A and B are shown apart, each in its own frame.
Chain A
Amino acid sequence: GAVVSQHPSWVICKSGTSVKIECRSLDFQATTMFWYRQFPKQSLMLMATSNEGSKATYEQGVEKDKFLINHASLTLSTLTVTSAHPEDSSFYICSGRRMMSYEQYFGPGTRLTVT
């Protein structure tokens, strides 16, 4: 149990366009979801934390108007990269956490390439 999926697994978009990444908890209710970003040969960096039905809490240095996070249900969170630029190209990973649990369950990641 505790499976998290992400869609798409890989997306290419043109500079200036927006792209949405979905994160779904398939067999549990994720009261909290996390979004991470990973650069090549770098560690995962937490971008934001979202609780279902609430606004996301962004980490310092992350532009909330650029990376829009919506956690509208207990099984779905979305990350929208607005007006994407080549420097936004990265690997984006989400995780979900059950209520009353500290453990996070991770999705397989989405590779975004902005041309």
Chain B
Amino acid sequence: GDSVTQMEGPVTLSEEAFLTINCTYTATGYPSLFWYVQYPGEGLQLLLKATKADDKGSNKGFEATYRKETTSFHLEKGSVQVSDSAVYFCALGRPQGGSEKLVFGKGMKLTVNP
């Protein structure tokens, strides 16, 4: 079945450091890929997504490219800020009866220090 594997943290970085969070998936066909972010005390929020191979999703300085050849969707940001401290989830989605059924990775907690 479908599965998502992502880097496990926690990870602590200094402000302005470069961030990469690895995510690989196992799935047949062409699922959609997502990154969700969960800030302390809040629900998961969609950060970015890509729906087909070679698509690049981007938002708030974060980027991820759908790489079918390596079954990966790594999240990157060139310069993190303290406000980026959160838990990041990689997810795979498939349409299910008109909605998107999501399969999540375990999440990675990022702390950015000033």
Residues of A within 8 A of B (CB): 4, 32, 34, 41-46, 49, 57, 93, 95, 97, 102-109
1/0 contact string of B39-50 vs chain A (CB within 8 Å): 001111110000
B43 touches A43 (CB 8 A): no
Q: How far is the CA of A45 from the CA of B99 in the complex (A)?
A: 16
Residues of B within 8 A of A (CB): 4, 8, 32, 36, 38, 41-46, 89, 93, 95-107
Q: How far is the CA of A39 from the CA of B14 in the complex (A)?
A: 29
Q: How distant is B34 from chain A, measured CB to nearest CB, in Å?
A: 9
A103 touches B46 (CB 8 A): yes
Q: How far is the CA of A102 from the CA of B100 in the complex (A)?
A: 5
B99 touches A41 (CB 8 A): no
Residues of A with C-beta under 8 A to B93: 102
Decide if the interface of chain A is mainly helix, strand, loop or mixed.
strand
B43 in complex: contacting residue of A4, A41, A46, A97, CB < 8 Å? A4
B106 touches A43 (CB 8 A): yes
B107 touches A108 (CB 8 A): no
Residues of A with C-beta under 8 A to B104: 43-45
Q: How far is the CA of A102 from the CA of B106 in the complex (A)?
A: 22
Q: How distant is B9 from chain A, measured CB to nearest CB, in Å?
A: 10
Q: How distant is B33 from chain A, measured CB to nearest CB, in Å?
A: 13
Give 10 CB contacts A-B under 8 Å: A43-B104, A43-B105, A46-B102, A57-B97, A102-B32, A102-B99, A104-B99, A104-B100, A107-B43, A108-B43
A42 in complex: contacting residue of B32, B42, B96, B106, CB < 8 Å? B106
Q: How far is the CA of A43 from the CA of B93 in the complex (A)?
A: 14
Given contacts A102-B93, A102-B95, contact A49 B43 (CB under 8 A): no
